[in-house]
Amino acid sequence: MASSLTIENVDAAYGSVRVLEGVSMTVNAGETVVLLGTNGNGKSTLMKCVMGIVRPKSGRIVVEIDGEKHDLAGMATEQIVDLGIALVPEGRRLFPRLTVEENLLLGAFRRKARAEINTNLAFCFECFPRLAERKSQLAGSMSGGEQQMLALARALMLAPRLLLIDEPSVGLAPVLVSRTIEKIKELKDRYKLTVLMAEQNFPQALRIADRGYVIVHGQIAFEGRSVDELNNNDLIKRFYLGL
């Protein structure tokens, strides 16, 4: 079940605006790695590069799944999804005019995922009983916290080998942020998921992180090999706490 992600020297830009400069990082099998940074530092862009939604200008992104290496450069997004890489997009991005159940079924749009659709749906409803209660409700009519749960569950419909979560805390009340983080923790503990999570809510992110990176202006400014290293870091104090 081993799957890992290696990002090497990735540069990315929107037109002439450089967003990522020589970003390198790794996520090993079974790890939860957090990518910390405030708004506009390139977290989402890096996520989109992995998914093939934004094309890096240079550098390599390689995923190893069951001992087989796949270079993601030049692969279409749907092929990357086929490898078992799922993204929970920033701001949830549900299909608001479809029902909860339809949203989940669409998480398994790929043929590969459709083979296991019933098992995965049952699994999602088991993890998120709330969604089972609301399955015929329109996704757009649920609360923010429930929508975030649905966004997570939709990604799980792929039975992903590598789960990318982009800022799960965006637009949620603090108590819901805490609950969302707990849910992610529960999922990764129970199912040994490999997770890369971008987040700017530093204390919440560290609750589930094994290690992490700090990204500043499109460059990795600091690599924390453990939670402790991230916790006692001057750079982070300066950027996050204003000390």
Question: Which parts of this chain interact with another protein (CB under 8 A)?
Answer: 51, 53, 76-78, 81-82, 86-89, 93-98, 102, 105-107, 109-110, 113, 154-155, 158
Q: Chain-centre distance of CA 44, in angstroms?
A: 9
Indicate the residue among 44 and 206 with the shorter CB distance to another protein: 44
CB of 96 to another protein, least distance (A): 6
DSSP string covering 96-152, please? TTSBHHHHHHHHT-SHHHHTTHHHHHHHHHHH-HHHHHTTTSBGGGS-HHHHHHHHH
Residue 129 phi, psi (nearest 5): -55, -30
Indicate the residue among 97 and 217 with the shorter CB distance to another protein: 97
Indicate the residue among 112 and 237 with the shorter CB distance to another protein: 112
CA distance 92 to 111: 23
CB of 185 to another protein, least distance (A): 22
Indicate the residue among 101 and 199 with the shorter CB distance to another protein: 101
Indicate the residue among 154 and 188 with the shorter CB distance to another protein: 154
CB of 240 to another protein, least distance (A): 28
CB of 179 to another protein, least distance (A): 22
* 159 Ramachandran zone, left/alpha/beta (phi>0; psi -120 to 50): left
How many CA atoms within 13 Å lie on the side-chain side of 123?
A: 18
CB of 111 to another protein, least distance (A): 9
Question: How are the residues of the chain apportioned to helix, strand and coil, as percentages rounded to the nearest 5?
Answer: 40, 30, 30
